[in-house]
């Protein structure tokens, strides 16, 4: 018998992937980056975490533009945070819980050699989606500051 996850569960995975991509676009497409040494076209070719690291590296160069620097720092923090959350979900593999539910399971090797697992159930996905929405609001608030 082939048990499959619910459509609602799969929709949450899709929503998480989409919301992270949306956050990337909100940041990359922002006018604040146009007046900085960073090349937005280059950012389009990078993964989420790499975009976050590029913005983090740029931030010290923007001390004379505090509002832009705030946007860049907030954006870097947001992307680095959501990249890890999204990657936990997208790099997980299907597993079956003790109760028989099919859900994703992210396995990793701990420093001490033990295998650790994170079940990507509905509650886990809800927490990841809430965190992405939180960072999107933070970036949107940083965008409200006047250009300097």
Question: What is the mean pLDDT of the segment spanning 102-115?
Answer: 88
In a domain, 23, yes or no: yes
Tell me: the pLDDT tens digits for 11-61?
999 999 999 999 999 999 988 887 888 888 889 999 999 999 999 999 999
Structure tokens at 116: 């650790």
Range of 133's domain? 7-91+121-143
**pLDDT tier for residue 108 given thresholds of 50, 70 and 90:** confident
Structural domain count, the chain: 1
> Is residue 67 included in any domain, yes or no?
yes
CB 106 within 8 A of CB 125: no
- Would the pLDDT of 1 be above 70? no
**Residue 113 counted as domain residue:** no
For residues 33 and 104, the answer to whether their CB atoms sit within 8 Å is no
Instruction: Please say if the pLDDT value at position 7 is more than 60.
Output: yes
């Amino acid at each position: 018998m082939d048990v499959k996850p619910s459509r609602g569960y799969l929709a949450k995975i899709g929503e998480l992937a989409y919301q992270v991509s949306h956050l990337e676009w909100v940041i990359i497409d922002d006018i604040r980056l146009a007046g900085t040494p960073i090349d937005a076209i280059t950012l389009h070719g990078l993964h989420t975490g790499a975009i976050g690291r590029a913005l983090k590296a740029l931030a010290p160069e923007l001390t004379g533009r505090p509002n832009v620097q705030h946007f860049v720092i907030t954006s870097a923090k947001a992307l680095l945070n959501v990249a890890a959350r999204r990657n936990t979900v997208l790099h997980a593999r299907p597993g079956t819980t003790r109760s028989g539910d099919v859900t994703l399971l992210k396995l990793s090797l701990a420093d001490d050699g033990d295998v650790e697992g994170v079940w990507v159930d509905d509650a886990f996905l809800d927490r990841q989606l809430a965190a992405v929405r939180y960072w999107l609001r933070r970036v949107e608030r940083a965008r409200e500051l006047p250009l300097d």
